[in-house]
Structure 1
Amino acid sequence: MNYEHIAKQLIPLLGGKENIISVTHCATRLRLVLKDDKKAEAKDIENIEGVKGAFSSSGQFQIIFGTGVVNKVYEAFVREAGIQQGDADAHQEAIKQKMNPLARFAKTLSNIFVPIIPAIVASGLLMGLLGMMKAFKWVAADSPLYILLDMFSSAAFIILPILIGFSAAKEFGGTPFLGAVMGGIMTHPALLNPWGLAEAKPNYMHFLGFDIAMVGYQGTVVPILLATYVMSKVERGLRKVVPHAVSLLVVPFVTVILTGFITILAIGPLGNLLGDGITTVLNFVYHYGGALAGLIFGGLYSMIVITGVHHSFHAIEANLLAKLGVNYLLPIWSMANVAQGGAGLAVFVKSKRTKTKEIALPAALSAFLGITEPVIFGVNLKYRKPFIAAAIGGALGGAYVVFTNVVANAYGLTGIPMIAIVAPEGLTNLMHYLIGFAIAVVSAFVATFLLKFREEEE
């Protein structure tokens, strides 16, 4: 494969060098920010050797090459286009500038919570291991091994505000370590740790006319997001007016004091109210909507993915984990994702074009592993009816997992990898997840055949 030749073919089909703002790549896709996405000739790009699909999503034009190929194409592309290699922050900023306010907000939340996923998944798996050890009585509850694993499993949720504070400050343009300090203030040992102590009653302190509840924010999400946003605004404002000679001394000092008082007096309590309100509304819909709620959410989720707003769901899921200890939304999203894979698999079987088969099979497999953009934009949405069939499969699978109360103990994983965070909640939970998985995939596969999509001509 001639990567230089591929790069030379791509540039004019993307509207020329002057239309390319920024470029980077992930494990399988070349990701570009273009001045005008309409100038990109997606169909002609898909006919280039090595290209498995091309689509526009969430402020980026993405070209699927596959693992081991995309990085070589990227190197040739940046040389040919005369673009500097990879400033990730500049690329993310370029993406956000192209989005509408709602999509930009969703992308911001995604950038904050995605880096925290490994910590949440690790804690979820440890909790599952701890639950199995307790259920099967492998070790005594007062044994050193059990006590240590209990510490390890709960640590990420206890210091969650510190993790979020660091990540959010970076996203909001503040100093990440000051964001972590704000999280530390909100989880200070002098404050009562409410995590897992729902019935505990805090002491009160009278200060500036306020009665301050001496309660911490361990395991919360919304309060630290608001606090870090305010902190970043304060810090950036101070940097504009404080002389550089004393900036290092004055700015962090004033930022921490000012934001700390605002957080303890106002932001913390307000954030808790907002977080509790979100959880209450979701619980109401989940418990009283039942299978109907799963049917609607599972059917519509893939449409939400197209808009990019789904990135904001990580924050909602993290809040559910912090408040309830389980995530009942992720199984629904997983049904929608694997249904897209089922529809893509049907396109692979039914298609007569070699090019379509080459795209459909790996794209469908990636959907089963939780990555749906290739199959949505490269296959199902392209032919429309498979996308509708996938929505049907997602709806039926979503209805089933809600009806059977399937939950996860983390967020970030869907499809086959999600088994790891579903299994710890019990064998019954796992079995119902797998049944829902099968319902979503099979119904999407069958619906694709019944709807009789028309394949484009050569």
Structure 2
Amino acid sequence: MKKAATRRLLAPVAGWVLALADVQDPVFATATMGPGFAIQPTDGRVVAPVSGRVTVVAATKHAVGLVTASGLEVLVHMGIDTVDLNGAPFVCHVQVGDTIQAGEVLAEMDLAALQRAQKLATVIVVVTNGQTVLDDLIVAATDQMVTAKTAVATAVLAVTPVPGAQAVTSTTAASDVELESEFESESESKSKSKSKPNSTSKYAHLATAIVTNVGGPGNINSVIHCITRLRFYLKDEHCAQDAVIANLDGVIDVAKAGGQYQVVIGPAVNEVYDAVMAQLGPAFADMTAGTPTAATTQAAGAPTETDAPTGWLPRLRHGMSQVIGVMTAAMIPVIGILAGSGILKGILAALTGFHVLTVTSGTYMVLNAVADATFYFLPVVLGFTAAKKLGSDPIVLAIVGAILIYPSLMTAAGHATTAQITFFGVPTHLMSYAASVFPMIVAAWLGVSVERGLKRVIPLYLRSVFVPILEALILSVIVLVVIGPLITMISKGLASGILAIYNFSPALSGLVIGGLYQTMVIFGLHWGIIPIVINDIATNGHSYLNAILSITMVAQGGAVLAVFLKSKNKPLKEISLAAAISAFCGVTEPALYGVNLKYKRVFVVASIASGLGGLLTGLLHVNNYALSGSLIGFPAFITPGVGIGPNFYGYLISHYGTLLIATILVYLFGFSDKMLPAPSATAK
């Protein structure tokens, strides 16, 4: 058996070796451009990691491409987002077409200038054609200091070296419009140039969708591209539909930095850029837009301070919209399993209500664990998904979620005698964070700043150990000591107010609670009401308050049912039906975060319908006899010792009346398919 050929890759610069996954750029970190490694440099002298021919020198001097005799295409990328600096911190010592030996000087970086520009100087080495020419790339142990020219990785070739590969000639230098370009062999360049019209045609639909969803040509000042991304300079970034663009087939992600709206494409960026420019015209290819001044951006119509929301109400509305946007985006990955879990919880409630199962049976315990686990561990899941959305560390935020539901803390929170603790002398009230949403969104939001701050003060060689644990500690303390007690204080105040309103007028309290309760659920403020319900059932055997809470679930379910009935969008119809069934089983999260909050008018109209349903419930004095509700919880409205009677009829009238009101109002006034992204946005 023939031994596989290998090639060594040298450290291009002295510094600290990083795994590619630790690079603070999602395109490189996810190996979209190919396998490789990175080095956080301590010196600015950059050498060739392999011997070969120079195929590309970026116009901004921050990237050099090489091709070896064995066919490896190696990219040396200097710094993160340094394309914005237009070459100022770099001096290149090679030109396209030069032959260079491993260890010879490629370029020099001004590390101080990069630091002043607040750019990371990370040097990244990737094999861009690794999928076709490599069996493996073995990177030596990371998290160690190396000198330049030290062997850091070994490329295991998938094929025998191609005779004459050393004779590969250079590609054409990047045009004035391009800041950088993918490097390629001469044969590949010829192949691409011959097929360029077809390539442009192939990507025309994607280009149209991108241009449309960044706000159209009228919202674009100019477009440039780098090795992986289209970089738009937009007049108003608020016009761009981030979620729509990120979900297009052919788009990896959307990023915003340095005044640029970046659409991450990956290896096909050249073709997509050509297709975009074919539609926009050469006037939009303007390198001078690289760092627009305040004067030019204002002249071009870019948003200024005067375009920002003014006044406390618009700012509050804008802030709330951002919070809700992050919550819905973080919840979307788990909506399906939440809906299924909610349905299973409803079935279990029915089975126990009809005494088919007992809560102590093994069958019930296993099924209940399946149904309840997603909700119980929701903070862990949300920590991960919200962190990915906001750019903080997903693993650390998942750990923060686990800390919040740690058994000893949860047990202490469940008892009045242990819920009041002190943390280093600071009085703290513990609360249950199981199934909570808002605290983890806040933690993920803060995580970005906390992580950035820690990295500024902790040396690089200590970061891998101390940054994660300190970030988890800081965020957990903020939630437990500040956010949790604040939510508890506000929720208790609201609960007292609601109880006072109920004692004054059940009908009025039904209107208020029905209209506001699901909003309280979003921000975790409902925990002040739950103990009142539990106490009512435990001491009196019934709870008028729980009957009103039950109505709010039906209203949210009716709203999402209306979306299912009205929409012609198949994916939306599927998630809407599942969310409606889940809500009728007593679990509203899929309806709230999957549909109703996403299309805010649906939630507003549903809350109005919920308020009307609560008013009806209060007028009829509907009572609840168990900690259950919604449509699946109908046995909880049968009066013990009496059976089906006036209270049950009141339940039927109030709950199905609310269902009818919510469905009709949302169908007529709350939702339209016009609220969905335009059809062109889904073009492929």
What TM-score results when the alignment is normalised by the length of structure 1? Answer: 0.53
Structure 1 pair 171/444, CA: closer, same or farther in 2 (3 Å)?
A: closer
How far did residue 185 of structure 1 move?
1.9
Cα shift readout 1:373-404 (whole Å, capped 9, x = no counterpart): 9xx99xxx9xxxxx9xxx99995686246624
Structure 1 pair 94/118, CA: closer, same or farther in 2 (3 Å)?
A: farther
Structure 1 pair 402/175, CA: closer, same or farther in 2 (3 Å)?
A: farther
2:559–2:666 CA contact under 8 A, matched in 1? no
Output the amino acid matched with 1:86. Answer: I
Q: Which residue of 2 aligns with 1:269?
A: 485
How far did residue 321 of structure 1 move?
8.1
Q: Which residue of 2 aligns with 1:16?
A: 217
Q: Out of 400, 418, 424, which is 1:208 matched to?
A: 424
Cα shift readout 1:202-256 (whole Å, capped 9, x = no counterpart): 1766653345567764444444444444444221211233333332122113223
Q: How does 1:307-322 map to 2 (within 5 A)?
A: 315-316=522-523, 320=526
Output the amino acid matched with 1:235. Answer: E
CA distance in 2 between counterparts of 1:104 and 1:435 reads 34
Structure 1 pair 176/16, CA: closer, same or farther in 2 (3 Å)?
A: same
Cα shift readout 1:402-430 (whole Å, capped 9, x = no counterpart): 62489xxxxxxxxxxxxxx9443227768
How far did residue 145 of structure 1 move?
0.7
SS in 1 for 2:407: coil
CA distance in 1 between counterparts of 2:474 and 2:400 reads 11
Q: Out of 383, 386, 403, which is 2:616 matched to?
A: 403
The 10-residue stretch of structure 1 (8-17 or 209-218) with the greater mean CA deviation from structure 2:
8-17
Structure 1 pair 401/201, CA: closer, same or farther in 2 (3 Å)?
A: same
How far did residue 178 of structure 1 move?
0.9
Q: Out of 213, 218, 241, which is 1:60 matched to?
A: 241
2:430–2:484 CA contact under 8 A, matched in 1? no
CA distance in 2 between counterparts of 1:226 and 1:393 reads 26
Residue 87 in 1 paired to residue 253 in 2? yes
SS in 1 for 2:251: coil
Q: Out of 332, 335, 338, which is 1:114 matched to?
A: 332
Structure 1 pair 403/235, CA: closer, same or farther in 2 (3 Å)?
A: same
2:447–2:471 CA contact under 8 A, matched in 1? yes
Residue 249 in 1 paired to residue 472 in 2? no
Structure 1 pair 433/117, CA: closer, same or farther in 2 (3 Å)?
A: farther
2:447–2:475 CA contact under 8 A, matched in 1? yes
CA distance in 1 between counterparts of 2:606 and 2:391 reads 41
The 10-residue stretch of structure 1 (162-171 or 203-212) with the greater mean CA deviation from structure 2:
203-212
Structure 1 pair 402/129, CA: closer, same or farther in 2 (3 Å)?
A: farther
**Larger proportion of strand:** 2
Output the amino acid matched with 2:253. Answer: D
CA distance in 1 between counterparts of 2:326 and 2:412 reads 28
Q: Out of 94, 101, 104, which is 2:322 matched to?
A: 104
Q: Which residue of 2 aligns with 1:26?
A: none
1:21–1:94 CA contact under 8 A, matched in 2? no
How far did residue 144 of structure 1 move?
0.9
Output the amino acid matched with 1:403. Answer: L
1:163–1:180 CA contact under 8 A, matched in 2? yes
Output the amino acid matched with 1:332. Answer: A
Q: Percent identity?
A: 19
Structure number with bigger Rg: 2
Q: Out of 358, 379, 384, which is 1:161 matched to?
A: 379
SS in 1 for 2:417: coil
SS in 2 for 1:190: helix
SS in 2 for 1:140: coil
2:393–2:447 CA contact under 8 A, matched in 1? no
CA distance in 2 between counterparts of 1:101 and 1:338 reads 29
Structure 1 pair 445/129, CA: closer, same or farther in 2 (3 Å)?
A: closer
Q: Which residue of 2 aligns with 1:424?
A: 632
2:554–2:631 CA contact under 8 A, matched in 1? no
Cα shift readout 1:107-164 (whole Å, capped 9, x = no counterpart): 1222233334344334422322221121111133322112222333333333233233
Output the amino acid matched with 2:331. Answer: F
Output the amino acid matched with 1:150. Answer: N
1:112–1:164 CA contact under 8 A, matched in 2? yes
Output the amino acid matched with 1:240. Answer: R
Q: How does 1:178-197 map to 2 (within 5 A)?
A: 178-193=396-411, 197=414
Output the amino acid matched with 2:405. Answer: T
Q: Which residue of 1 aligns with 2:394?
A: 176
How far did residue 6 of structure 1 move?
7.3
Q: Over aligned residues, Cα RMSD in angstroms?
A: 5.7
2:222–2:233 CA contact under 8 A, matched in 1? yes
CA distance in 1 between counterparts of 2:419 and 2:556 reads 41
Structure 1 pair 231/335, CA: closer, same or farther in 2 (3 Å)?
A: same
CA distance in 2 between counterparts of 1:271 and 1:118 reads 28
Output the amino acid matched with 1:175. Answer: D
1:161–1:221 CA contact under 8 A, matched in 2? yes
CA distance in 2 between counterparts of 1:61 and 1:177 reads 24
Unaligned runs of 5+ in 2: 1-200, 224-231, 263-302, 310-317, 534-548, 578-590, 623-628, 636-647, 670-684
How far did residue 294 of structure 1 move?
8.9
CA distance in 1 between counterparts of 2:521 and 2:507 reads 23
CA distance in 1 between counterparts of 2:433 and 2:217 reads 51
Q: Out of 119, 135, 139, which is 2:357 matched to?
A: 139
CA distance in 2 between counterparts of 1:336 and 1:426 reads 20
CA distance in 2 between counterparts of 1:218 and 1:145 reads 23
SS in 2 for 1:202: helix
Output the amino acid matched with 1:315. Answer: I
Q: Which residue of 2 aligns with 1:305?
A: none
Output the amino acid matched with 2:252. Answer: G
Residue 240 in 1 paired to residue 456 in 2? yes
Residue 129 in 1 paired to residue 342 in 2? no
Larger RCO of the pair (alpha carbons < 8 Å, separation 6+): 1
CA distance in 1 between counterparts of 2:374 and 2:527 reads 11
1:223–1:269 CA contact under 8 A, matched in 2? no
1:165–1:228 CA contact under 8 A, matched in 2? yes
CA distance in 2 between counterparts of 1:220 and 1:12 reads 37
1:332–1:397 CA contact under 8 A, matched in 2? yes
Q: How does 1:314-353 map to 2 (within 5 A)?
A: 315-316=522-523, 320=526, 324=530, 328-335=551-558
Output the amino acid matched with 2:418. Answer: P
> Aligned pair count?
343
1:193–1:215 CA contact under 8 A, matched in 2? no
**Larger proportion of helix:** 1
2:412–2:430 CA contact under 8 A, matched in 1? no
